Amino acid sequence: MRKLINQSTLQSALKTKGWTQSQLADEVGVSAQSVTNWLKGKGFPRPSTLLKLATLLRLSFEQLVETDDTNRPVVAFRKKGNAKTTDSHITKATEIGMLLKPLVAYLAEMRALRTLITSPSTEYNKLQLAVSQTRERLGLGDQAVLRYEQLISEFKECGAILIPVLWGAKGKHENAMHIRLPAEDVTFIFVNLDTRVEDFKFWMAHELAHVFTPDLTGSNEGEDYADAFAGSLLFPRACAEAAYADASRKRSAHGEIDALLHHAHTHAISLNTVYQRVKEYAKFARLPSLRVDDRAIHMVRNSSPGPLVSEALFDPMPPNAKHYIAASENIFHSTFFQAIKQMILDKGIEPGYLQQVLNLSIGDAQALHEELAH
């Protein structure tokens, strides 16, 4: 993160004192060219000079200095439940992003033309329009089931690298971690395979929304939009309308849940995703609410948790390094490990790099390194 002198603040302070740039240079004890460079963003004072500058102009460090974040990784988390993202999580993810920068040179060339949602909005009609256009581009009808393969292909088309990880059993904070490198125009998305199958498609769609709206990534607004887009992409208005019609014909809340469960199973998504989309549709269409409420939905959902994605992919668990890498490449079309392999051969990177980038134990990192090094 590069530090710069705040040009407008400095010029305003000079005007207040009635000083020229040359006079300031004399007072601080630097050349006039140094002051000119500060104002052009081409240089930055030494700590002792910065202190003298702040004292002379009666400015705080925060007023005098600004940071250039254009090269700083942008991070976002898809969290477990109500888990709170702390400064340490952001710092750790940012450090991983910085470590990923050298890897970009070893990735395959990215597509220059990518899908973007230029005016993201959670307003119902605008959100449904964005979803409809996305489904149309994928060749999907309004009520068709969105498949994992279609989601995965979209990440590749948009220059995003999927990195499947096994974090859940170790109690990691994230269900997914999104790291965008703005200067390199590359996004890395860590998706946790130790999550329920019924939730995994939603989290994938949530991350895809971030890819479509890079300017919102890392903000609360971006998280809200990603949640809304994901649910609607998986279960758009036509699906919600049909599910509402089925559920509203039932005579009890239990019957409504059974009707919603049928739609959830058909689309391979969670009962809660279906319920929330139906509830939003009913509100928009000014229809009576269903009898069932959020509490009942969560009770049903938690009473019979489904299998984890990792359990569905790997048997036995945990997978060895060879099987894990093969799944990353063949199922998730990830070029991450091929790029790592080239870095190992070219630069001789050690297992510690994998340990830090993938947030692994040193034993797991050594096993991966050994597999990639030959």
Last residue of a domain, one of 10, 36, 68: 68
Q: Is residue 217 part of a domain?
A: no
Per the domain annotation, does 202 fall within a domain? no
User: Which of 51, 68, 85 is a domain's end point?
Assistant: 68
From first CA to last CA, the distance across the chain in angstroms is 36
User: Across the chain, what does the average pLDDT equal?
Assistant: 89
| Rounded average pLDDT over 101-105 | 93
pLDDT of residue 70: 65
Would you say residue 83 has pLDDT above 90? no
Q: Where does the pLDDT of residue 65 fall: very low under 50, low under 70, confident under 90, or very high at 90 and above?
A: confident
Residue 313 maps to a domain = no
The answer to whether residue 142 scores a pLDDT higher than 70 is yes
Domain end, chosen from 303, 320, 352, is at: 303
Question: What is the pLDDT, as a whole number, of residue 43?
Answer: 82
Question: What CATH number does the domain containing 25 carry?
Answer: 1.10.260.40
Residue-wise pLDDT for 337-359, tens only, equals 999 999 999 999 999 999 999 99
Domain count, the chain: 2
79 SS3 class: strand
The yes-or-no verdict on residue 6 having pLDDT over 80 is yes
CA 80/CA 271 separation, integer angstroms: 17
DSSP percent split of the chain into helix, strand, coil, nearest 5: 60, 10, 30
Note whether residue 41 is domain-resident: yes
The boundaries of the domain holding residue 56 are 2-68
Inside any domain, residue 218: no
Give the confidence band of 336 by pLDDT, cuts at 50, 70, 90: very high
Average pLDDT over residues 359-370: 94
Confidence (pTM): 0.79
Q: Residue 320 corresponds to which tokens in the numbers above?
A: 């060895």
108 within a domain of the structure (yes/no): no
- Model pLDDT, residue 171: 46
Report pLDDT digits (tens) over 246-302.
999 999 999 999 999 999 999 999 999 999 999 999 999 999 999 999 999 999 988
* 220 within a domain of the structure (yes/no): no
Question: How confident is the model over 49-75, as a mean pLDDT?
Answer: 82
184: left (phi over 0), alpha (psi -120 to 50) or beta: alpha
> What share of the chain in percent tops pLDDT 90?
62
- Over residues 113-121, the mean pLDDT reads 87
In this structure, is residue 372 part of a structural domain?
no
Pair of tokens at residue 191: 């998706």
pLDDT score of 87: 63
For residue range 164-204, what is the model confidence (pLDDT) as tens digits?
999 874 444 457 889 999 888 899 999 999 989 989 999 99
